[in-house]
């Protein structure tokens, strides 16, 4: 089993606290540390050095500037590629070792913020309209895909792991042999040979998103989708779990108890998942909570949730809509 933990806001100095190093080493956890764009400085390199000395793996979660979209997508693929090459070469010059690069692929920040915190009731409709018209640009999508293929090749040539992360909604492209969801989100993911495909199944957020659909069993929805992803991606599948803390948007719902988290891990283990990334260290900087969450990942037992017919019905409806969408997409 491979366990990782995301860290988005905590300083390089604070992630080097004695109890954090001790617990991460005890549970053999990789730190996915977010580096702000062009902010690799002395304290950052000192942090990597300390982790190297303690034999704790570190992967760099490299983001872009907020004005560039923050997460990686079509619009900043070229700049991201150049940035990663410069960053890896600088780490080499510093004679430091990292495990890999986390490529967090999501729609541009301003679009996600507008959807998460709409200023009017029309904002979600406007964004949906944009996604199915302006965003569906095959030339731009394919150009970004070719750039990111080169990024992937560069990372592999450096003997580093490429760890690509995307929203759970990309499941539907794999399930129904499409790329329309990725193109609408402006994130070419599955046509690139990343070492790992990490899908974000944040149960706390999914439950909030689907709370109005009271008869849909979210536990079974996660089980059903992850089971298919495991069958399709096999050892390349990784799953991000959480959340324990607010992220970039500032309004993400998080776990109230470790027991609830443990149950969700059990569902993923029942699907055969062996690569977990916990979001995030920032929300569990207390020694007991950090160890509690990591122990839950290690010790939770596989558990299959109750069957939910509505999950199957809704997926059949999604398949029908996606097939219609693919006909529409063929016109572009």
- Alpha-carbon gap, residue 241 to 211, rounded angstroms: 19
What does the pLDDT read at residue 156? Answer: 99
Confidence of residue 179 (pLDDT cuts 50, 70, 90): very high
The answer to whether 31 and 38 are in contact (CB under 8 A) is: no
Question: 322: helix, coil or strand?
Answer: helix
What residues have CB less than 8 Å from 53, skipping those under 6 apart?
Answer: none
What does the pLDDT read at residue 213? Answer: 65
**63-84: average pLDDT:** 99
What does the pLDDT read at residue 214? Answer: 62
* Tokens 């689907």 -> residue: 210
The answer to whether 236 and 195 are in contact (CB under 8 A) is: yes
pLDDT at residue 116 greater than cutoff 80: yes
Return the CATH number of 2-329, one of 3.40.50.2000, 3.20.20.70, 3.30.70.870, 3.40.50.970.
3.20.20.70
| Residue 243: alpha-carbon gap to chain centroid | 12
pLDDT at residue 52 greater than cutoff 90: yes
What does the pLDDT read at residue 74? Answer: 98
Domain ranges of the chain: 2-329
Burial of 27 (0-12, 13-18, 19+ CB in 10 A): middle
The answer to whether 112 and 187 are in contact (CB under 8 A) is: no
- Alpha-carbon gap, residue 194 to 198, rounded angstroms: 10
φ/ψ of 117, rounded to 5, equals -130, 70
What residues have CB less than 8 Å from 194, skipping those under 6 apart?
Answer: 103, 152, 162, 163, 164, 236
Angle, vertex CA 149, rays to CA 144 and CA 155, nearest 5: 125
Task: Specify the pTM.
Answer: 0.96
What does the pLDDT read at residue 209? Answer: 87
What does the pLDDT read at residue 269? Answer: 99
Confidence of residue 212 (pLDDT cuts 50, 70, 90): low
- Alpha-carbon gap, residue 142 to 32, rounded angstroms: 28
pLDDT in tens, 126-138: 999 999 999 999 9
- The encoded tokens of residue 217 equal 């069993």
- The encoded tokens of residue 215 equal 């008869």
- Alpha-carbon gap, residue 136 to 158, rounded angstroms: 33
Angle, vertex CA 310, rays to CA 305 and CA 315, nearest 5: 100
What residues have CB less than 8 Å from 19, skipping those under 6 apart?
Answer: 287, 290
Average model confidence (pLDDT) for the chain? 97
Considering Cα of 168, then 230, then 72, then 250, what sign does the dihedral take?
positive
**181-189: average pLDDT:** 98
φ/ψ of 69, rounded to 5, equals 110, -10
What does the pLDDT read at residue 219? Answer: 98
**90-114: average pLDDT:** 98
**209-224: average pLDDT:** 86
């Amino acid at each position: 089993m491979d366990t990782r933990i995301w860290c988005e806001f905590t300083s390089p100095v604070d992630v080097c606290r004695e109890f954090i190093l001790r617990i991460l080493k005890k549970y053999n956890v990789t730190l996915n540390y977010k580096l702000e764009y062009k902010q690799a400085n002395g304290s950052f390199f000192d942090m990597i050095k300390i982790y190297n000395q303690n034999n704790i793996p570190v992967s760099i979660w490299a983001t872009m500037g907020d004005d560039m979209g923050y997460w990686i997508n079509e619009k900043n693929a070229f700049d991201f590629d150049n940035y990663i090459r410069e960053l890896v070469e600088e780490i080499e010059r510093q004679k430091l070792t990292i495990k890999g690069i986390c490529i967090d692929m999501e729609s541009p920040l301003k679009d996600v913020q507008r959807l998460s915190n709409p200023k009017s009731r029309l904002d979600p409709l406007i964004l949906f309209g944009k996604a199915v018209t302006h965003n569906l640009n095959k030339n731009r999508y394919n150009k970004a895909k070719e750039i990111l293929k080169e990024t992937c090749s560069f990372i592999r040539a450096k003997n580093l792991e490429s760890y690509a992360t995307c929203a759970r909604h990309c499941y539907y492209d794999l399930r129904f042999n499409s790329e329309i969801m990725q193109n609408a989100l402006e994130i070419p993911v599955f046509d690139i040979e990343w070492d790992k495909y990490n899908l974000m199944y944040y149960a706390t957020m999914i439950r909030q998103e689907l709370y109005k659909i009271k008869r849909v069993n979210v536990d079974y929805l996660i089980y059903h989708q992850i089971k298919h992803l495991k069958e399709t991606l096999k050892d390349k599948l990784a799953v991000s779990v959480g959340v324990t803390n607010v992220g970039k948007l500032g309004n993400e719902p998080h776990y109230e108890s470790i027991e609830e988290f443990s149950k969700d891990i059990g569902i993923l283990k029942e699907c055969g998942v062996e690569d977990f990334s916990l979001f995030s260290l920032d929300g569990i900087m207390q020694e007991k909570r950090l160890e509690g969450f990591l122990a839950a990942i290690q010790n939770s037992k596989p558990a299959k949730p109750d069957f939910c017919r509505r999950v199957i019905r809704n997926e059949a409806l999604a398949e029908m809509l996606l097939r219609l969408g693919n006909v529409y997409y063929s016109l572009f």
